[in-house]
Every structure is written in structure tokens, then in C-alpha cells.
């Protein structure tokens, strides 16, 4: 999100559909989250052991407007009270992103509100600022999610410099693949965590394969 595009109103509607969850939230200028509604697709993808893009995008189509309506209702507001609409535009599954972006563009066109494009990886980093309730920048930011494991130099709240990333699978993706191989439930993270709590961390030595390499 580059710069401030808010009008005199204090409220912003945020829409997220980058992967397998449909989300909408109403946020106040002081970073107070008035509502946060998420429709999960875990049950749809569980039988496959991972996210199926076509199934995900179709589920977004069914959920996007009800989720937005619920977010506005829980915040006790409506479209007329908003100052802008923010939507995730990258990165993510193309079909999933398209659903959220289409909904956001339609609402922005109908209301005349400005539309703010958001990189959802940068949003992960900025969420740390919201959680802290104070300015935390400059800082080094590590994003460890389902599809990304990236390191950033965060110069400011909207100024992130990419430093590096995993050269193969993201951490969350690795969890899901291992869980599927072991016949565990989806999503794999919670299932593996439950097993790890009763496991022996010293039983199998796991070497750090790239330690000492100049590009590591």
C-alpha cells in the first residue's frame, strides 16, 4: 500500500482472497479493527491434502459478498461511511485474487471510493505494527507463511526491501507436504505440531545443509 489515499472518513474496508480463505475487515484510522470476518475452506481441501486452486476460486465467489456484508454489519457501518476500499492484488492464486479484486473494484466504482492495492506479504509485516500498537520501524521482518518464507529490511510502514527467501518450498508448504506423506489431516501444521509435542527432538540429527555457503 503506497501513501495515504483515505478521505475524511475514519473507516476502511479491507478484502483478502489470495489463497483459500475469504476475508473482510473494517479498520479505523487509528488501526482499531472493528470487524474481522473469515470464511475458511479447510473442509473443501482436506480430502486433497492441499489447496486446489479451482475449488478455492469457486468458494470465494460464493463467500465474498456475504463475508463483506457480515464485516460491515459487525462494524455497525455501511459503504456510505467508508473512506476507501483496500484489496489484496498480489501475490497469490490468480483465480482467487481475481474474485476479491473484482468485488473491490465493483464496490469502488459503485461508491466512488478510492481503491488501494495491497501486497499481502507486506501486509503480514505491517500486521506486526498493528499488534505492537506502536511504531516498530525500521526493523528486520521475517514472513513465514503457507506460501512464502521471505526476509525483508523494513525501512518504514510502506517501504520494504526484499533481502532473500527460501530456495525451494515455503515453511507452510513443507508442513502440508510432510503431513500428506504421513497420512495426517489438512492443514498439516497443527497435526505435525501435535505429534511433535510428544516427540524426541534429538532422535534424528538434521544437518543445516547450506550453512557456510556465501549465498545462504
Q: What's 11-128's CATH class?
A: alpha beta
DSSP secondary structure code for residue 17 in this structure: -
Q: How far apart are CA 41 and CA 46, in angstroms?
A: 9
Q: How far apart are CA 17 and CA 15, in angstroms?
A: 7
DSSP secondary structure code for residue 52 in this structure: -
Q: What is the mean pLDDT of each run of 10 residues along the chain (216 residues)?
A: 53 96 95 95 88 95 98 97 97 96 98 96 90 91 91 92 91 89 88 90 84 70
pLDDT at position 8: 52
121: left (phi over 0), alpha (psi -120 to 50) or beta: alpha
DSSP secondary structure code for residue 81 in this structure: G
Domain chopping of the chain, boundaries? 11-128
pLDDT at position 70: 98
* Inter-CA distances, 88 with 18, 97, 116, 140, Å: 7, 7, 9, 23
Grid cell locating 69: 456484508
pTM score, whole prediction: 0.84
The residues near 48 (Cβ < 8 Å, ≥ 6 apart) are 186
Amino acid at each position: 500500500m503506497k501513501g495515504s489515499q483515505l478521505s475524511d472518513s475514519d473507516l476502511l474496508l479491507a478484502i483478502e482472497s489470495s489463497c483459500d480463505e475469504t476475508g473482510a475487515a473494517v479498520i479505523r484510522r487509528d488501526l482499531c479493527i472493528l470487524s474481522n470476518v473469515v470464511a475458511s475452506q479447510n473442509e473443501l481441501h482436506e480430502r486433497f491434502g492441499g489447496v486446489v486452486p479451482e475449488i478455492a476460486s469457486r468458494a470465494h465467489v460464493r463467500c465474498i459478498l456475504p463475508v463483506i456484508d457480515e464485516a460491515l454489519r459487525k462494524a455497525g457501518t455501511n459503504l456510505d461511511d467508508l473512506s476507501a476500499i483496500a484489496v489484496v492484488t498480489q501475490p497469490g492464486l490468480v483465480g482467487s485474487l481475481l474474485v476479491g479484486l473484482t468485488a473491490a473494484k465493483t464496490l469502488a466504482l459503485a461508491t466512488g471510493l478510492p481503491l488501494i492495492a495491497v501486497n499481502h506479504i507486506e501486509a503480514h509485516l505491517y500486521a506486526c505494527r498493528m499488534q505492537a500498537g506502536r511504531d516498530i520501524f525500521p526493523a528486520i521482518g521475517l514472513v513465514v507463511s503457507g506460501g512464502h518464507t521471505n526476509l525483508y529490511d523494513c525501512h518504514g510502514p510502506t517501504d520494504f526491501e526484499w533481502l532473500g527467501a527460501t530456495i525451494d518450498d515455503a515453511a507452510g508448504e513443507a508442513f502440508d507436504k510432510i503431513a500428506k506423506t504421513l497420512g495426517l489431516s489438512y492443514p498439516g501444521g497443527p497435526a505435525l505440531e501435535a505429534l511433535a509435542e510428544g516427540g524426541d527432538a534429538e532422535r534424528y540429527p538434521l544437518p543445516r545443509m547450506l550453512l557456510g555457503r556465501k549465498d545462504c
